[in-house]
Amino acid sequence: MPETTTALITGASAGFGRALALALAERGWDLILTARHLEPLTRVRDATGAIALAGDVADPEHRTRLARVIGELDRLDLVVNNAGALGPSPMPALADLAPADLGDILTTNVVAPLAVLQLSRSALRAARGIAVNISSDAAVTPYAGWGGYGCSKAALDHLTAIYGVENPDLRVYSFDPGDMRTAMHQAAFPGEDISDRPQPETVVPAFLHLIDTRPPSGRHLAADLAPMR
């Protein structure tokens, strides 16, 4: 890695996005962070010295703001599309999932990540950088009740693969972190105890191993990378 590196992380106010932001800041990275909720995002900004923009990446106007910030950078080495939408909670079967709800899930989990990759492409290519879309095992395993979320992550995986083929000068990854103890995971199991799931911080070493080693573009599981610790 060069001496000064810069990353854009979406969904950076909580969960894995927050854990990753803290870890990269500890490494000396410059950060651009975005998330929907201002107060927790501000706390992460204060802890990392990042540029922080509150807003929804599914909103084209917010993405325009992000594009302006990226346009002012000297370089952009890493983009992490971590923001995601689960859909209704409790999660309905596909037979009961409203088409409008599916549209919202796809907009956040597929359309927005592509838009972020598009607006950051020139800066990433200039740095021969890395793009990471956060995936899920629901993309490849048909869990009952996870239809909306799962099909969106399957689409994101395929989008990622094609984007990697079309941009061979970049490294483009789908990263499946596995189960984590996050607010989204809790929303998937309302009222249940998910304290047996690992904290997001335990997955960060696998992610760092991925970007440090820069394997060929493709889908990678945290469990297959650096040992959890």
Residue 47's domain is classified under what CATH number? 3.40.50.720
Active site residue 149: yes
* Extended beta strands in 40-182, E state: 51-54, 78-81, 130-134, 171-176
Q: Which domain holds residue 104?
A: 6-224
Is residue 208 included in any domain, yes or no? yes
Domain count, the chain: 1
20 contact partners, CB below 8 Å, separation of at least 6: 9, 12, 80, 82, 200, 204, 207
Burial of 126 (0-12, 13-18, 19+ CB in 10 A): middle
Instruction: Tell whether 147 is covered by a domain.
Output: yes
pTM: 0.91
Asked whether residue 229 is domain-assigned, the answer is no
- Mean pLDDT of all residues in 74-100: 94
pLDDT digits (tens, 9 = 90+) for 111-157: 999 999 999 999 999 999 999 999 999 999 999 998 999 999 999 99
C-alpha dihedral sign at 99, 100, 106, 109: negative
Q: What mean pLDDT do residues 153-180 have?
A: 94
d(CA 145, CA 160): 24
Whole-number Å distance between alpha carbons of 52 and 33: 5
